[in-house]
Structure 1
Amino acid sequence: MPLHVQGLDYEVGGRKLLVGLELMVRTGESVAVMGPSGSGKSSLLSLILGLVPADAGNLLVAGTDISVLKGGKLARWRQRHIGMVFQFGELLPELTPVENVALPALIAGTGRVAAFDRARSLLSGLGVPVDGAFTADLSGGERQRAAVARALMGEPSLLLADEPTGALDEQAREHVADVLFRVPGESGCGLLVVTHDAAVAARADRVLHLVQGRLVGASERGAA
């Protein structure tokens, strides 16, 4: 299973953001998490990435509890099993799309030819130009699709996306959402998307809402 969160507690500045939170994302499944600003959605992603420690609970990514991994072991596990798509892509504008997508693999020690071949294949499959353009010259939608390609470079077990369409116009948003929600079925990973956009969330197999530190379904939210 790509992700299994059990009894997760997280407190910041005396405020409990997450309380006994439970979450599963299965292979081939997409899950969207919604909630108001400050509810803890981005904190949840940071915890899953191992960027901040939880106060209690277990965070199993691809079957391993990352809360017990430290330093280089954590970095290697994250690199191997988690892909991340940020709201603004976080690409280097002075590099070509192929260079941006290949970069994580090159850092991990993959040979240049193999890394660039896979980067070109991913970009072509997502409709992003691979020749004759710098990343700065791409449209917003193309840059975000390139960010998806980069996140898939390591064939992750789990793909995370933090407001992946938040900075796009409507047409680009639809195209990026089309690409993103195809990924679990085509790549065999789990997808967890944090978003404010109900139309984007509705594409997921399941939609959960972060309410008072816990994730609840639509029916539970209505009863709360």
Structure 2
Amino acid sequence: MTEAVLSVKGLAYEVPGRTLFRALDLDVRAGESVAVMGPSGSGKSTLLSCALGLVRPAAGTVSVGGADMAELRGRALARHRARHIGMIFQFGELLPELSPLDNVALAALLAGADRKDAYRRAGALLAGLGVPEAATSEELSGGERQRTAVARAVINSPTLLLGDEPTGALDETTREKVADTLFAMPRQHGCGLLLVTHDPAVAGRADRALTLHGGALVPVPRNGQAAVR
């Protein structure tokens, strides 16, 4: 069995008036995709924030690439996050004034890559994902922007890929194309993929689909979404 690139053990976290996580456990392994569903406010995005080291739990551990994210601080946290985690947001969060190539290469440059190598790898990723050349990312369609965001997320060969509703702003046809790209990443790059979504069709494409309910993660049956609340 491959190693867990994300290991969550006994996670506990509360917000005023509500418990989001109660001894929550989750492992995501290299080459595996896991989707998490749940109603708004259930803690899906907070789970991603814990994996990023942006939210520190009241109890438990969240380990990425063998390091407890809550134990890291400052530059050490930023370095570990840059080395091990790629993040894809709902709206891509590209720099609109930069070209797709510049957006992707910038992630590599910020991680210390050689400029020539950064642009070579960025160009290869974008070409492989079918993103056209453009002077600015504003010229791209919604699906092309999301595929650019995927390229940016994987250019540094992360251990773990995170997606926060990465198909939520797309039409059905574009959603399917972006989902094809997303779920191919664990096999192509040997990373783990954890995404949160409201869309049962997207969640159903993951190796495992879970729903966050009552502070715990519950498997979604493969014969339907009866357990999704």
- The TM-score range, normalised by the shorter chain, is over 0.9
Match of 1:56 in 2: 59
Match of 2:183 in 1: 181
Which shifted more, 109-118 or 201-210? 109-118
CA distance in 1, matches of 2:69, 2:220: 29
CA distance in 2, matches of 1:8, 1:109: 33
Match of 1:201 in 2: 203
Which of 5, 8, 30 aligns to 1:5? It is 8
Q: Is 2:32 aligned against 1:29?
A: yes
Partner deviation per Cα, 1:183-224 (whole Å, 9 max, x = no partner): 0011000000100000001000000000111101125x74x9
SS in 2 for 1:216: strand
CA distance in 2, matches of 1:218, 1:77: 32
RMSD: 1.6
SS in 2 for 1:18: strand
How far did 1:80 drift? 0.1
Letter in 2 for 1:217: P
How far did 1:66 drift? 1.4
CA distance in 2, matches of 1:57, 1:42: 18
Unaligned 5+ residue runs, structure 1?
A: none
How far did 1:122 drift? 0.7
Contact map agreement 2:134 2:140 (CA 8 A) in 1: no
CA distance in 2, matches of 1:187, 1:111: 21
Contact map agreement 2:100 2:134 (CA 8 A) in 1: no
Partner deviation per Cα, 1:102-142 (whole Å, 9 max, x = no partner): 1121122212111111100111111101x343200000000
Unaligned 5+ residue runs, structure 2?
A: none
CA distance in 1, matches of 2:209, 2:18: 25
TM-score, structure 2 normalization: 0.94
Give identity over the alignment, percent. Answer: 62
SS in 2 for 1:22: strand
Letter in 2 for 1:140: G
Task: Detail structure 1 runs of 4+ shifted over 2 Å in the superposition.
Answer: none
CA distance in 2, matches of 1:38, 1:66: 23
How far did 1:4 drift? 0.6
Which shifted more, 105-114 or 193-202? 105-114
SS in 1 for 2:36: strand
Equivalence map 1:53-202=2 (5 Å): 53-129=56-132, 131-202=133-204
CA distance in 2, matches of 1:37, 1:14: 16
CA distance in 2, matches of 1:47, 1:132: 35
CA distance in 1, matches of 2:20, 2:212: 10
Contact map agreement 2:20 2:43 (CA 8 A) in 1: yes
CA distance in 2, matches of 1:157, 1:24: 13
Contact map agreement 2:34 2:194 (CA 8 A) in 1: yes
CA distance in 1, matches of 2:17, 2:121: 46
After superposition, the Cα gap between the structure-2 partners of 1:132 and 1:41, relative to the gap in structure 1 and judged at 3 Å, is closer
CA distance in 2, matches of 1:191, 1:31: 6
